Amino acid sequence: MTRDELKALIRTVPDFPAPGIQFRDITTLIADGRGLAASIDHMAQMAPPDVAAVAGIEARGFIFGTALATRLGLGFVPVRKAGKLPVETIAMDYALEYAEARIEIDPTLVSAGERVLLVDDLVATGGTALAAAQLLRQAGAVCDHALFLVDLPELGGADRLRDAGITTASLMEFAGH
């Protein structure tokens, strides 16, 4: 499937979660077997050749990150919401639009100097992805590439990641928020 065909599988829900927001609902793409498989194939072609692991951000980054890791024959590092891992973790706080959030990883899942590709379904403001990259770096990983299914470029997240030294790519873009 082409990128345009994949983009057509993503449903836009107007005024969710607030008036004026155009929510890009990827569940319609992941429910389509051909679309999901083609998305992973495209993302695999976009992945840098020298990564040793894939890290995915909870929750939808788990879908694309795990599938991509499997496709590339690599391990998967989950970046979890606070309190979800049963072992000692390292954590990073970051700002949301109206609140703060916290993500965690098990630092034993990455080795010093290991190249880790960060994956999520969508980049908007980039706050979560930037926090995840910083957390992976704190654990000793080299995290200088991020890959997303969707970019909302008007929100500036991909630019924010690039400013932090992270090469960023996405399978498709949508205008607006």
105: left (phi over 0), alpha (psi -120 to 50) or beta: beta
pLDDT band with cut points at 50, 70 and 90 for residue 56: very high
97 is catalytic: yes
pLDDT tier for residue 177 given thresholds of 50, 70 and 90: low
Per-residue pLDDT at 97 = 66
pLDDT-above-70 percentage for the chain: 98
Residues in Cβ contact with 18 at an 8 Å cutoff, skipping those fewer than 6 apart:
none
Report residue 11's pLDDT band, with 50, 70 and 90 as the boundaries: very high
- Average of per-residue pLDDT across 110-122: 97
Q: Which two tokens stand for residue 73?
A: 């024959």
Between residues 95 and 146, the one the model is more confident about: 146
Instruction: Identify whether 114 is a catalytic site residue.
Output: no
9 has a pLDDT exceeding 90: yes
Angle at the Cα of 76 from the Cα atoms of 91 and 80, rounded to 5 degrees: 30
Query: At residue 9, what are phi and psi to the nearest 5 degrees?
Result: -80, -10
Write the pLDDT tens digit of every residue in 77-113. 999 999 999 999 999 999 876 778 999 999 999 999 9
Mean pLDDT of 124-128: 94
- List the single range of 25-39, 41-55, 69-83, 85-99 with lowest mean pLDDT: 85-99
Given the residues 60, 102, 115, 160, the one annotated as active site? 60
Domains of the chain: 48-173 (3.40.50.2020)
**Residue keyed to tokens 């345009």:** 4
SS3 content of the chain, % helix, strand, coil (to 5): 35, 35, 30
